């Protein structure tokens, strides 16, 4: 006889406990940029992705008072409003591509875009450390998936050469990998895809806004034009949502075929207007970008001096502790020192590489990095 649902859930949670993988939500309160409030105490926050400290940047709210909070319908019905289109034009111009289409989140973007582009009979070549949203988008496409070792160009070329010639081919990568903090070799990937007749899809979630000249991202900096570029707005932009950029034909295909657009209420027009304003702020944020990069370098150098295994140099830096228990203890010790940074454990990262992911923001100071390093020491 089947067990009651809560009893079955309890057994699963106990299993996670035994493996050191049970997670908790922190009931955080609002605080000043670079900090978070928890249980009446203010902590240095090194766990956010608010790279440019724009999430708390002031806006002229009076000028936003007449903009609706809700789109009221799907974009394809009556939910396609002028703030959406203005934000899409601004984002396309930022990354130097002809068109863009807004989605409600980065996850919705990838699980919508990939099945719209490829399907049964096609071939997707995906870096093994790609984000879960890219992995799930590949699976939902029902294309044949070829996973290649992380940033291994030789393995990718062999896979492209060995794949059947029929069907479309799509190579999928992040620009900055969200948990490793390292970067994809974009120029070499572009050369490979051109040589083997494949399309290139680059997820710039952790690079657009914070890296590249004026925050235009790593593709723009490298002179690489992917067929599909993904950007998110909840990180460097301090807002919410995400977008796909590419040709005008790509945009049109997505609002026909991307189910997470077709069957979803449009992103809030108020948020779309905020995105337009944030895009202007991102373009003018060179000082904040340089400061964040300097702090990330200071942190990575300091961690290496402490003898830790360090991955990433910016904007993300990770200190690897190996076991889930080791990473959780590091998180606990840091919290006792007044610092918030979360342990990242399987299945988010591979077994044996549990870590604490550390993100300096433009709101932090060099003294804050020294305090963090002192606590880790």
Where in the sequence numbering do the catalytic residues fall?
49, 131, 174, 178, 203, 206, 235
Task: List, in sequence order, every residue forming a beta bridge with 320; answer none if it has no partner.
Answer: 309, 355
Q: Quick one: angle between helices 324-336 and 366-376, nearest 10?
A: 120
Phi-psi region of 371 (alpha: psi -120 to 50; beta: other; left: phi over 0): alpha
Computed from CA positions of residues 139, 258, 170, 318, in that sequence, does the dihedral angle turn out positive or negative?
negative
DSSP conformational letter for 10: H
Comparing C-alpha atoms, which of 253, 195, 191, 190 is closest to residue 226?
A: 190
95, 208 in Cβ contact below 8 A?
yes
Computed from CA positions of residues 151, 206, 210, 106, in that sequence, does the dihedral angle turn out positive or negative?
positive
Instruction: Name the token pair of 112.
Output: 């919508």
| Count of other CB atoms within 10 angstroms of residue 361 | 27
Segment (H or E) for 42: strand 41-45
Instruction: Name the token pair of 255.
Output: 């609002």
CA distances (Å), origin 12, targets 19, 21, 32, 183, 330: 11, 11, 38, 36, 25
Range 365-374 burial, b when 16+ CB lie within 10 A, else e? eeebbebbbe
Instruction: Count the alpha carbons within 13 Å of 116 in the hemisphere toward its beta carbon.
Output: 23
168, 118 in Cβ contact below 8 A?
yes
95, 245 in Cβ contact below 8 A?
yes
């Amino acid at each position: 006889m089947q067990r009651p649902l809560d009893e079955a859930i309890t057994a699963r949670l106990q299993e996670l406990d035994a493996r050191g993988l049970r997670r908790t939500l922190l009931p955080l309160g609002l605080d000043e940029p670079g900090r978070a409030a928890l249980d009446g105490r203010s902590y240095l926050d090194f766990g956010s992705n608010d790279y440019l400290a724009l999430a708390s940047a002031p806006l002229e709210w009076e000028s936003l008072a007449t903009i609706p909070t809700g789109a009221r319908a799907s974009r394809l019905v009556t939910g396609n409003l002028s703030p959406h289109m203005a934000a899409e034009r601004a984002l396309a111009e930022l990354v130097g591509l002809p068109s863009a289409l807004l989605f409600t989140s980065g996850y919705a973007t990838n699980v919508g875009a990939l099945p719209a582009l490829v399907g049964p009979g096609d071939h997707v070549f995906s870096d093994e450390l790609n984000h879960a949203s890219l992995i799930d988008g590949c699976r939902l496409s029902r294309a044949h998936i070829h996973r290649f070792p992380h940033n291994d160009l030789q393995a990718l070329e062999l896979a492209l050469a060995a794949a059947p010639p029929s069907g479309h081919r799509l190579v999928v990568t992040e620009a900055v990998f969200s948990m490793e903090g390292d970067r994809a070799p974009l120029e070499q990937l572009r050369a490979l895809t051109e040589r083997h007749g494949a399309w290139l899809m680059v997820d710039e979630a952790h690079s657009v806004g914070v890296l590249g000249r004026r925050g235009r991202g790593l593709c723009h900096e490298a002179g690489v034009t992917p067929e599909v570029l993904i950007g998110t707005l909840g990180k460097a932009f301090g807002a919410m949502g995400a977008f796909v950029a590419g040709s005008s034909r790509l945009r049109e295909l997505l609002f026909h075929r991307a189910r997470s657009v077709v069957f979803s209420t449009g992103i809030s027009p108020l948020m779309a207007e905020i995105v337009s304003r944030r895009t202007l702020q991102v373009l003018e944020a060179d000082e904040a970008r340089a400061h964040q990069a300097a702090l990330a370098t200071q942190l990575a150098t300091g961690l290496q001096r402490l003898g830790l295994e360090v991955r990433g140099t910016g904007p993300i830096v990770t200190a690897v502790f190996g076991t889930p228990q080791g990473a959780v203890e590091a998180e606990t010790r840091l919290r006792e020192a007044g610092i918030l940074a979360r342990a990242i454990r399987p299945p988010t990262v591979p077994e044996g590489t549990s870590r604490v992911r550390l993100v300096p923001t433009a709101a932090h100071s060099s003294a804050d990095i020294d305090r963090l390093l002192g606590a880790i020491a």
